[in-house]
């Protein structure tokens, strides 16, 4: 039987469905912890959901502890093209550890990638929450209600740009990304480019930069701001369900 192929088109040698999995992607850690907690052996320190997640931590997404991963003797490590380094994936594979790499830049891509992760990599049925998420997010996009900007860092200011999962999620909720036409996916911009009359609201997530009531809103004088959960804007897993409700409520207030 031929091996399954990950989202990068790389064959992943799996003699049997994995029994020990290490996830280097917070979204996918949550997805596996909710649906197949029995196989999850390790995760990064950024993997914060579910709140009661009790697995070995293997440092961060950009600097995973490969020795700690090896000690867990995983059947499979799960990574993401954007969130993890190619160097770490290459070195794990060179050490004989199978790695499944996901690629997610749109909501449909996320839904399909999650489906293949469960059925082809983990040998599991598609979880009910994924079917529900597909129903919620696969319909026609509503008319645009407002134009938003989503900073992800300050000093320097960086925002969500073109070809991102977050931008597609916003569009499917009826919100236009003010920087969707920028040539970069996560451009560095001047604060004044964000704080302008054409932007109806600035969404300030709590990750990767932790914007708070005292750190973020005070920088903007023209565009109103809203603090939002970064998990509801950037994660693709069970979070897609509360994200739909959160953005629906947000749009209703604009």
3-state secondary structure of 231: helix
Which two three-digit tokens encode residue 21? 């999995």
Alpha helices in the chain (DSSP H): 26-35, 66-71, 86-94, 107-116, 128-137, 165-172, 191-194, 230-234, 240-252
Q: What is the pLDDT of residue 1?
A: 67
Axis-axis angle for helices 165-172, 107-116 (nearest 10): 110
Comparing CA positions, the residue from 101, 115, 145, 108 lying closest to residue 12 is 101
Residues 21-136, CATH architecture? 3-Layer(aba) Sandwich (3.40)
Q: Which residues contact 205 (CB under 8 A, 6 or more apart)?
A: 150, 152, 211, 227, 228, 229, 230, 233, 234
* Confidence category of residue 140, pLDDT binned at 50, 70, 90: confident
Query: Can you give the pLDDT at residue 198?
Result: 93
pLDDT tens-digit series, residues 22-74: 999 999 999 999 999 999 999 999 999 999 999 999 999 999 999 999 999 99
Contact 250, 244 (CB under 8 A): no
Beta strands in 4-49 (DSSP E): 21-23, 40-43
Phi and psi at 86, nearest 5°, equal -60, -35
Residue with the two structure tokens 């023209």: 222
Where, residue-wise, is CATH 3.40.50.1980 in the chain? 21-136, 146-252
Q: How many CB atoms lie within 10 A of CB 33?
A: 22
Tokens of 163: 């070809």
pLDDT at 254: 85
pLDDT for the residue numbered 178: 97
How many Å apart are CA 120 and CA 184, to the nearest integer? 33
CB neighbours of 167 closer than 8 A, spacing ≥ 6? 160, 161, 177, 180
43 phi/psi in degrees, rounded to 5: -160, 170
pLDDT at 228: 96
Token couple for 15 = 């003699």
The CATH number fitting domain 146-252, selected from 3.40.50.2020, 3.40.50.1980, 3.40.50.2300, 3.40.50.970:
3.40.50.1980
pLDDT tens figures, 73-104: 999 999 999 999 999 999 999 999 999 999 99
- Are 200 and 147 spatial neighbours (Cβ–Cβ below 8 Å)? yes
**Two tokens, residue 179:** 């920087």
């Amino acid at each position: 039987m031929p091996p399954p192929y990950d989202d990068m088109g790389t064959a992943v040698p799996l003699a049997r469905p994995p029994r020990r999995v290490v996830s280097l992607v917070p979204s996918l850690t949550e997805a596996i912890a909710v649906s197949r907690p029995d196989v999850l052996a390790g995760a990064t320190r950024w993997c914060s959901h579910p709140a009661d997640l009790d697995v070995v931590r293997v440092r961060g997404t950009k600097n995973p502890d490969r020795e700690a991963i090896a000690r867990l003797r995983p059947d499979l490590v799960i990574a993401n093209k954007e969130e993890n380094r190619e160097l770490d994936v290459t070195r794990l594979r060179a050490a004989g550890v199978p790695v499944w790499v996901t690629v997610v830049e749109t909501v449909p891509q996320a839904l399909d990638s999650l489906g293949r992760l469960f059925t082809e990599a983990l040998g599991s049925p598609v979880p009910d929450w994924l079917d529900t998420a597909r129903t919620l997010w696969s319909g026609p996009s509503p008319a645009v209600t407002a134009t938003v900007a989503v900073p992800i860092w300050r000093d320097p200011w960086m925002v969500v740009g073109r070809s991102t999962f977050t931008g597609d999620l916003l569009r499917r909720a009826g919100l236009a990304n003010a920087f969707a036409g920028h040539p970069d996916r996560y451009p560095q911009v001047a604060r004044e480019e964000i704080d302008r009359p054409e932007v109806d609201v600035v969404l300030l997530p709590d990750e990767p930069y932790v914007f708070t009531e005292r750190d973020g809103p005070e920088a903007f004088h023209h565009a109103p701001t809203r603090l939002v959960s970064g998990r509801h804007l950037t994660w693709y897993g069970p979070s897609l369900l509360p994200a739909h409700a959160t953005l629906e409520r947000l749009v209703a207030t604009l």
